[in-house]
Structure 1
Amino acid sequence: MNQLLAMRAFCCIVENRGFSAAAEQWETTSSTLSRHLQHLEAQLGVRLINRTTRHLSLTEAGERYHAACLDILQRLDQAALAVADDGSEPSGTLRISVPLVIGTLELGNWLPGFQQRYPKIRVDLSCEDRFVDLVAERFDLALRISGPLEDSSLVAKKLTVSDLILVAAPGYVSRQGLPRQVDELATHQLLGFTGSNEWRLNSARADTVVVALNGRFKTDTITSLHSAALAGLGIAAFTRATVQQNLQSGQLVQILPDYNAGQRHYFALYPHARLLAPKVRVFVEFMAQHYTSV
């Protein structure tokens, strides 16, 4: 029996929480993976996985062996990558999951520069706001915007922390005037998301002011909110990273610059810190550099 192959099969079964998904990822059959597991258990003399027709769980011995397998396989793979990564240009298809805002409103800020720097990397981008299963759905990494992340089995590299700032189109400001105090927002059209009824604005003095969203327009997508702001329909809140180019080009102006509506953390998520392919490593480094400059 090829023990390393059996160890990889065992880890794949665990990571995919079942034989069918693991077999699909390996492009093999469930019975083949089952044989690898049976041979491994026979060699070790212990049961690694308790399995029924509907449920799979690690035994106590299986948990210990899985942790050891991950460590061994990651070290082997990293050693192989270190030998292969001999200074040659990173290449291959990079499959990335990103939220809608990064894949649409921010795309032009980073993708042209990345493709120019790494012409041999093909980007396969999936844009949706749900949290994907990186392993089961075969993503190399994901970018996420959120508050501080909870503990997870994934590696989370923080790219930046961006303030939510208030912005409006110059045409709106010309018609309705520029608010200079927070209480003046009550007379303005405040654009927000469906289900959100207020902003909590924080000042440099650490004061927090609650402002009711009284505008005539709400939406459930950030792209339509952005379009409404650009069309001069009112004042909206976006991360500075999202509207940086709009501010630089004069399409939007910042409102009440001493206040923000909170902060959002930008993360790169990937399964293993010690198992980064060159194409993943350079992308994470590029995005960290990109957001540092915003």
Structure 2
Amino acid sequence: MNQMLAMRVFRCIVESRSFSAAAERLDTTHSSVSRHLQQLESSLGVRLINRNTRNMSLSAAGERYYTACVDILDRVDAASRAVLLEQERPSGRLRVSLPLVVGTLEMAHWLPAFQQRYPDIQVDLSCSDSFVNLVADGFDVAIRICDALPDSSLVARLLMTSPMVMVASSAYVYNYGLPGTVAELDEHQLLSFASTTQWSLTSESGESVAVVTSNHFHTDTITALHACALAGGGIAPFTLSTVQDDLRSGRLVRILSNYTLGKRHYYVLYPHVRNLSAKVRAFIDFMADHYRSEQQPNLG
């Protein structure tokens, strides 16, 4: 027995005041309505409606059950309407996991526009460079930057591929000069992220060369690396997307612009591809449009 359907049939019988009228409202037959009621009464072990050939009336149990049915069915219908409305207009709390660099140095490029476009979405951001468990930790969606994604059951969509470039502040270049060759990097302060001890540089012609950084500066946070570079502490690697504003303003300048340190891929990850909520779909599509527009920044 479909209990929810049987409850709806019972409610319709009561409010229509007859089996025939209920059958007409439900676009079914008199026998089908009667069968649903009999199954419901059998499962409950009580008579809900007293009926004979001329009259019908609710039993005491039927009155109590009718009141409960109205409350339950109205709540279910209200929940369904809310979901349908959300699908039409994205809304609700959206939990997003971001790498630290996106949540600090890149967020100004997209968050205000997203909030303006979707004012009914409440964004809850968590910034961490660790690969969180989206399902276990209650996240709707995540963005990650990496060479390649580890195997997982998550759905992944590539947003952008950005080259890693070397930069330094104008003050640093003024004080220590601009290296003209890879070999001259040995004479400069090299700022590295995490435990990196070697940079692998690739020229425009495809030539690869390794640069040892173990005797220089290291930090485990991208914001500290960025702050140190801005302060004139040395030469640091970032994705081009991360430092685009600094390059445009002149706060940072490219070092050996004919070399890169490989590329980083920006991915958006989410647990489900079917029945994706409107708020998650809105975020994914928005970020895809945003990073598509940044794919080819015109920076030297």
TM-score by length of 1: 0.69
Q: What pairs with 1:137-152 in structure 2 (closer than 5 Å)?
A: 137-152=137-152
> Residues 235-255 of structure 1: CA distance to partner in whole angstroms, max 9, x if unpaired?
000011111111122211111
Q: Which residue of 2 aligns with 1:241?
A: 241
Give the fraction of aligned pairs with identical amino acids, expressed as a percent. 55
Structure 2: gaps spanning 5 or more residues: 5-79, 295-300
Q: Which residue of 2 aligns with 1:157?
A: 157
Letter in 2 for 1:251: R
1:84 aligns with 2:84: yes
Q: Displacement of 1:266 after TM fit?
A: 0.7
Tell me the SS of whatever aligns to 1:166.
Answer: strand
Question: How many Å separate the matches in 2 of 1:266 and 1:122?
Answer: 23
Q: Displacement of 1:108 after TM fit?
A: 1.3
Letter in 1 for 2:159: L
1:94 aligns with 2:106: no
2:191/2:236 contact within 8 Å kept: yes
Question: How many Å separate the matches in 1 of 2:138 and 2:218?
Answer: 35
Question: How many Å separate the matches in 1 of 2:177 and 2:257?
Answer: 15
Q: CA 1:174/1:276 → structure 2, altered by over 3 Å: closer, same or farther?
A: same
Q: Displacement of 1:125 after TM fit?
A: 0.4
Q: Which residue of 1 aligns with 2:209?
A: 209
Q: CA 1:2/1:102 → structure 2, altered by over 3 Å: closer, same or farther?
A: farther
Q: What pairs with 1:1-294 in structure 2 (closer than 5 Å)?
A: 84=84, 88-213=88-213, 216-294=216-294
* RMSD over aligned Cα atoms: 2.3
1:85/1:278 contact within 8 Å kept: no
Q: Displacement of 1:2 after TM fit?
A: 7.2
Question: How many Å separate the matches in 2 of 1:135 and 1:214?
Answer: 38
Q: Displacement of 1:154 after TM fit?
A: 0.7
> Residues 249-282 of structure 1: CA distance to partner in whole angstroms, max 9, x if unpaired?
2211111111111111111111111221111111
Q: Displacement of 1:203 after TM fit?
A: 1.1
> Residues 23-54 of structure 1: CA distance to partner in whole angstroms, max 9, x if unpaired?
xxxxxxxxxxxxxxxxxxxxxxxxxxxxxxxx
Tell me the SS of whatever aligns to 1:210.
Answer: strand
1:134/1:142 contact within 8 Å kept: yes
Question: How many Å separate the matches in 2 of 1:131 and 1:97?
Answer: 9
Q: CA 1:3/1:173 → structure 2, altered by over 3 Å: closer, same or farther?
A: farther
Question: How many Å separate the matches in 2 of 1:276 and 1:3?
Answer: 28
Q: CA 1:274/1:169 → structure 2, altered by over 3 Å: closer, same or farther?
A: same
Q: Displacement of 1:184 after TM fit?
A: 1.4
Question: How many Å separate the matches in 2 of 1:172 and 1:3?
Answer: 74
Tell me the SS of whatever aligns to 2:110.
Answer: helix
TM-score by length of 2: 0.68
> Residues 140-172 of structure 1: CA distance to partner in whole angstroms, max 9, x if unpaired?
111111112233211000101111100111111
Q: Displacement of 1:85 after TM fit?
A: 6.2
2:87/2:278 contact within 8 Å kept: no
Q: Which structure's CA Rg is the greater one? A: 2
> Residues 96-144 of structure 1: CA distance to partner in whole angstroms, max 9, x if unpaired?
0111111111121211111122111110001112211111211111111
Question: How many Å separate the matches in 2 of 1:172 and 1:2?
Answer: 74
Letter in 2 for 1:108: A
2:189/2:235 contact within 8 Å kept: yes
Tell me the SS of whatever aligns to 2:105.
Answer: coil
Letter in 2 for 1:181: T
Q: CA 1:86/1:222 → structure 2, altered by over 3 Å: closer, same or farther?
A: closer
Q: CA 1:229/1:3 → structure 2, altered by over 3 Å: closer, same or farther?
A: farther
Q: Which residue of 1 aligns with 2:65?
A: none
Q: CA 1:150/1:216 → structure 2, altered by over 3 Å: closer, same or farther?
A: closer
Letter in 2 for 1:128: S
1:159/1:288 contact within 8 Å kept: yes
Letter in 1 for 2:268: A
Count of residues in Structure 1 that have an aligned counterpart in Structure 2: 218
Q: CA 1:194/1:91 → structure 2, altered by over 3 Å: closer, same or farther?
A: closer
Q: CA 1:266/1:2 → structure 2, altered by over 3 Å: closer, same or farther?
A: farther
